């Protein structure tokens, strides 16, 4: 654990890094955003598939991001981990190519393909040199339309999943995360581990995986972003070849409404580790809520990952209790949360939790200061450009903007939306966001901390 002296030694390089970062951000604001944002186009392919497109001939690359609504919430209750295992096996052989041949073709052409699953989405990224775009999109077409799910490949992915779950079973961060979500959303798909558990992963069959792919990978729940050295007409043809033969409509199971539970409660999981891992969080604000941008600014000031956040200052700089502490907003179709975490020494756990809860209450009661609001606005406007410095990042932003229904001109409007937030807005929304209490999960052997029921 760090002490005050070591914090002071770290302070000067941190300040220097922040100064350099401000210059980088300023440059990106000046050049990247206007140049790229003005070129975003909504394109419809010849067969009617919509995608958002940015032509960028700076380098001879093409990047595509795609997203299917579905994710782990579509896993049967007794087969948790199905979504993750399915998407992990899509590139393990497809069409007439077995796993070795499929990966061999990708490697020979330096094609990057990654598909992953989270709670509500199956998300994929394809990145290729322009000269190899036809083969890259053909491999993606095979992976999505004709996955083989050969037994050897499935068993290899299962073994990797089991090994990962076994590691997570003794990892305090994984245990804290799993227990927090299970307590926040009991008996709901949001509360289940995306990777499943050992018993559920053992039940998953290749037929289950084929069924999942058939139900979820469909055109009506698909969002696409394309960025790179390709024209819109060619991109449309590539999109049609890749996605055009997928089922027209997904067959998704309805996800029940969700309301976060456990507020005011604490769960303590005994584990013999040097530090205690602490996860904490409360109810958040939906992405389409008019107060979301205000909540986004409040989260940044409170603990949103910057060196200037209140939690960072009070937990690390003032008291030296932890190397870092963070909070973030997460939103789903049926619920939203504000979640955070830290790790501290066993005898500092009680104080750390007390500081976190105190700062939540103080922000809820008084809101941020005018100076904090001004600094947060400047940072959040500038740092967004860092999400637009590569083709892959831009493609990801294009997809996320579609998922969140933000509008194709969101990047142009975003700075004005931040500037429009007033100090009075932050005081009102801080109370709304932070006044409901916290659910806290601790893993380790904390001193002076005991479990307590919700509302305690």
Q: Which domains does the chain have, with CATH numbers?
A: 4-33+259-444 (3.30.830.10), 41-243 (3.30.830.10)
φ, ψ of residue 402 to 5 degrees: the values are -70, -45
Report field, pTM of the whole predicted structure over 0.75: yes
Torsion over CA: 304, 307, 308, 314 (sign):
positive
What's residue 305's pLDDT?
Answer: 65
In order along its 456 residues, the chain shows pLDDT tens digits of: 333 333 222 233 333 333 433 433 443 443 344 344 448 999 999 999 999 999 999 999 999 999 999 999 999 999 999 999 999 999 999 999 999 999 999 999 999 999 999 999 999 999 999 999 999 999 999 999 999 999 999 999 999 999 999 999 999 999 999 999 999 999 999 999 999 999 999 999 999 999 999 999 999 999 999 999 999 999 999 999 999 999 999 999 999 999 999 999 999 999 999 999 999 999 999 999 999 999 999 999 999 966 889 999 999 999 999 999 999 999 999 999 999 999 999 999 999 999 999 999 999 999 999 999 999 999 999 999 888 989 999 999 999 999 999 999 999 999 999 999 999 999 999 999 999 999 999 999 999 999 999 987
Of the candidates 40, 240, 244, 234, the residue with the CA atom closest to the CA atom of residue 130 = 234
Cα angle: 143, vertex 149, 151; to 5 degrees: 150
20 CB-side CA count, 13 A: 6
Question: Structure tokens of 45?
Answer: 């392919």
């Amino acid at each position: 654990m760090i002490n005050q002296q070591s914090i002071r030694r770290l302070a000067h390089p941190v300040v220097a890094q922040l100064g350099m970062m401000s210059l980088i951000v300023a440059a990106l604001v000046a050049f990247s955003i206007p140049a790229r944002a003005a070129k975003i186009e909504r394109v419809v392919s010849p067969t009617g598939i919509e995608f958002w497109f940015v032509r960028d001939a700076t380098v001879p690359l093409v990047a595509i991001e795609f997203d299917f609504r579905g994710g782990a919430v579509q896993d049967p209750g007794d087969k948790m981990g199905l979504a993750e295992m399915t998407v992990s096996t899509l590139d393990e052989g497809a069409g007439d190519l077995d796993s070795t041949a499929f990966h061999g073709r990708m490697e020979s052409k330096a094609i990057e393909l990654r598909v992953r699953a989270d709670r509500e989405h199956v998300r994929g990224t394809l990145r290729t040199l322009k000269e190899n775009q036809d083969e890259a999109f053909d491999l993606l077409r095979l992976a999505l339309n004709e996955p083989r799910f050969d037994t050897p490949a499935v068993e290899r992915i299962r073994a990797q999943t089991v090994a990962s779950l076994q590691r997570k079973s003794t990892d305090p961060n994984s245990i804290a995360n799993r227990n927090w979500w299970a307590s926040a959303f009991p008996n709901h798909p949001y509360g289940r581990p995306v990777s499943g558990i050992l018993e559920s992963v053992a039940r998953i069959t290749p037929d289950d995986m084929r069924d999942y792919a058939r139900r979820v990978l469909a055109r009506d729940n698909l969002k696409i972003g394309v960025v790179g050295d390709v024209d819109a007409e060619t991109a449309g043809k590539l999109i049609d070849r890749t996605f055009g033969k997928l089922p027209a409509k997904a067959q998704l199971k309805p996800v029940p409404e969700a309301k976060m539970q456990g507020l005011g409660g604490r769960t303590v999981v005994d584990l013999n580790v040097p530090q205690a891992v602490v996860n904490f969080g409360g109810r958040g604000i939906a992405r389409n809520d008019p107060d979301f941008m205000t909540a986004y600014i409040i989260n940044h000031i409170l603990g949103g990952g910057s060196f200037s956040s209140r939690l960072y200052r009070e937990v690390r700089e003032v008291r030296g209790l932890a190397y870092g502490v963070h909070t973030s907003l997460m939103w789903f179709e049926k619920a939203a949360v504000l979640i955070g975490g830290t790790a501290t020494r066993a005898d500092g756990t009680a104080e750390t939790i007390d500081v976190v809860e105190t700062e939540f209450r103080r922000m809820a009661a008084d809101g941020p200061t005018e100076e904090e609001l001004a600094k947060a606005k400047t940072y959040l406007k500038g740092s967004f450009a860092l999400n637009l410095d590569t083709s892959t990042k831009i493609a990801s932003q294009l997809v996320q903007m579609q998922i969140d229904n933000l509008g194709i001109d969101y990047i142009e409007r975003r700075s004005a939306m931040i500037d429009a937030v007033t100090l009075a807005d932050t005081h009102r929304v801080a109370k709304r966001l932070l006044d409901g209490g916290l659910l806290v999960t601790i893993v380790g052997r904390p001193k002076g901390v005991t479990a307590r029921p919700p509302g305690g």
